[in-house]
């Protein structure tokens, strides 16, 4: 099988590359090599490599900046998604397009299954929802997989940010009234590779199991960090409300996703987010200490 990944510089793309099955011929392309807003550039790359499957992980992900750069967010997340879908359809490649929990408004109190009607409350979520619709219109057999609160041990994400802050500060304030599910990009990549061999279509959700706030996530990072010797102790982490920590873009207060449909289709069970975090941090940082 030949697989192509867009957005090669992103954390999920890097995990897809690091977990590629041995029988897959892979090409991962960055924005420099293949800007998804340029349909001709995409078609040229796709025609040259002729992938059987395409993972579209490329996106405009700056949630707050999107509020002031709406045109740019829609150009990439909507127009770019449509371009990738058109190019994939042209050569008969299967498309797996990655979307987000931020297509929902967060007014539920139970996990969101894929069938719930989206209602984004920020520009980023609206642009990603538009991308889902355009991708499915251009490539009806495409698969949309929504996830959220993705982290990895590399790149710019919550885990890396909190670890850096904890190692350089005696205290930290983290939002406690937004609930989601921290999700391992490493484990998500394994699920996506498993999907590549199945004939699934439509919209699915994936996250690790359980839920927590950003505050809970930060506390668990600190706990595991101390266990692995990355931190001398567990610095103070102070819970604050969203109102105390205002941002440009509204966030859904609750965006836990229900992965039952995809887990059942693949015959897999998501591990708890705490178990996944421990495994990820142990794998990446287990050989390091706070002194190194």
CB 135 within 8 A of CB 81: yes
Q: Give the whole-angstrom CA distance, residue 29 versus residue 13.
A: 9
Q: Specify the pairing of strand 179-180 against strand 212-213.
A: antiparallel
3-state SS assignment for residue 227: helix
Among 259, 179, 252, 253, residue whose Cα is nearest residue 211 = 179
Catalytic residue, chosen from 60, 102, 112, 124, is 124
Among 123, 27, 135, residue whose Cα is nearest residue 85 = 135
Q: Give the whole-angstrom CA distance, residue 119 versus residue 250.
A: 13
To the query of whether residue 112 is one of the catalytic residues in this protein, the response is no
Among 273, 254, 104, 248, residue whose Cα is nearest residue 177 = 254
Q: Give the whole-angstrom CA distance, residue 236 versus residue 239.
A: 10
Alpha helix (H) residue ranges in the chain: 11-18, 39-49, 70-74, 81-91, 123-138, 158-168, 185-195, 214-227, 260-266, 273-285
CB 56 within 8 A of CB 95: yes
Among 233, 249, 274, residue whose Cα is nearest residue 126 = 249
Give the residue numbers marked as catalytic.
124
């Amino acid at each position: 099988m030949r697989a192509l990944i867009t957005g090669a510089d992103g954390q999920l793309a890097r995990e897809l590359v690091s977990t590629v099955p041995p029988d897959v011929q892979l090409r991962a392309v960055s924005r420099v090599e293949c800007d998804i807003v340029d349909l001709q550039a995409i078609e040229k790359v796709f025609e040259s490599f002729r992938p059987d499957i395409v993972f579209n992980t490329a996106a405009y992900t700056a949630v707050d900046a999107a509020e002031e750069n709406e045109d740019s967010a829609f150009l990439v997340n909507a127009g770019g998604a449509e371009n990738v879908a058109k190019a994939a359809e042209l050569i008969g490649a299967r498309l797996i397009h990655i979307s987000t929990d931020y297509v929902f408004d967060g007014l539920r109190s139970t996990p969101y299954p894929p069938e719930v009607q989206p209602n984004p409350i920020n520009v980023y979520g609206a642009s990603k929802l538009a991308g889902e619709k355009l991708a499915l219109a251009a490539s009806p057999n495409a698969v949309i997989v929504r996830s959220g609160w993705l982290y990895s041990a590399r790149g710019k994400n919550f885990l890396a940010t909190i670890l850096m802050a904890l190692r350089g500060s005696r205290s930290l304030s983290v939002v406690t009234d937004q609930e989601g599910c921290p999700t391992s990009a490493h484990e998500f990549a394994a699920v996506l590779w498993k999907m590549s061999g199945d004939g699934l279509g439509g919209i699915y959700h994936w996250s690790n199991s359980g839920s927590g706030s950003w505050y809970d996530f930060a506390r668990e990072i600190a706990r595991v960090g101390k266990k692995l010797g990355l931190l001398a102790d567990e610095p103070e982490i102070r819970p604050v409300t969203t109102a105390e920590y205002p941002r440009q873009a509204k966030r859904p207060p609750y965006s836990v996703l229900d992965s039952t449909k995809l887990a059942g289709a693949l015959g897999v069970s998501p591990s708890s987010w705490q178990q996944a975090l421990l495994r990820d941090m142990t794998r990446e940082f287990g050989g390091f200490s706070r002194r190194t």
